[in-house]
Amino acid sequence: MTTTSPASPNATILVLYYSRHGATRKLAELIAQGVESVPGCDARLRTVPAVSTVTEAVEPDVPASGAPYVEAADLQECDGLALGSPTRFGNMAAAMKYFWDGTAPQWLSGALTGKPACVFTSTGSLHGGQESTLLTMMIPLLHHGMLLLGLPYSHPELMNTHSGGTPYGASHWAGVNGNQPLSDDSRTLAIALGKRLAETAIKLRRPS
């Protein structure tokens, strides 16, 4: 996916995720694919460091694989945000919550106010809190003044899917070991969510 500079004429959609076993990362990549299917939009994939109860544990400055760590400039420069996390007892993972707890400067400056956003998640069990995780992930985005998007039922996959996909955002039943493959319906819905976010960002983009 493309990494844009602030001078880019294209709209930049930040796809920010945390992934432990790779399932949420796969969803992020599909959402980014949907974003970049819209002319004039670039996806910027970013992740957050893991947190640990061991105070001596330190994450490297650059992840060993996958997307770079998110920086404050990514929030400032984006025209839209897709936020993803695996489920932890019906809520976002601690690493993602820790990141948002540190965004008071962006809240005070209104860096995200008026920008569109969507959410996505993966779960180890089919009824492991997909919808509650998506709903609770929306709360900090509402505090930041973002405009939340979901998936409308004009997507027939919402009525047919057996492994994930909700009106609140894209989701995936990954299995206990994270080895459950994404279904065709879940893939379609993730791409559609990214496309919808990008199209909305284009319409709302502030003139430079």
Q: What is the CA radius of gyration of the chain?
A: 16
Best CA proximity match to 83, nearest among 28, 29, 10, 163: 28
- CA distance linking residue 25 with residue 153, whole number of Å: 25
Cβ neighbors of 109 (< 8 A, separation 6 or more) are none
Spell out the residues 6+ positions from residue 25 whose beta carbon is closer than 8 angstroms to its own: 17, 19, 47, 66, 67
Place of tokens 């880019």: 8
Query: Which pLDDT tens digit goes with each residue over 59-106?
Result: 666 666 679 999 999 999 999 999 999 999 999 999 999 999 999 999
The confidence score (pLDDT) of residue 64 equals 67
Token pair of 144, please? 């930041």
Query: What is the per-residue pLDDT for 2?
Result: 46
pLDDT tens string 96-149: 999 999 999 999 999 999 999 999 999 998 888 999 999 999 999 999 999 999
Q: What share of the chain is helix, strand, coil (3-state, %, to 5)?
A: 35, 20, 45
Angle between the 184-204 and 23-36 helix axes, to the nearest 10 degrees? 50
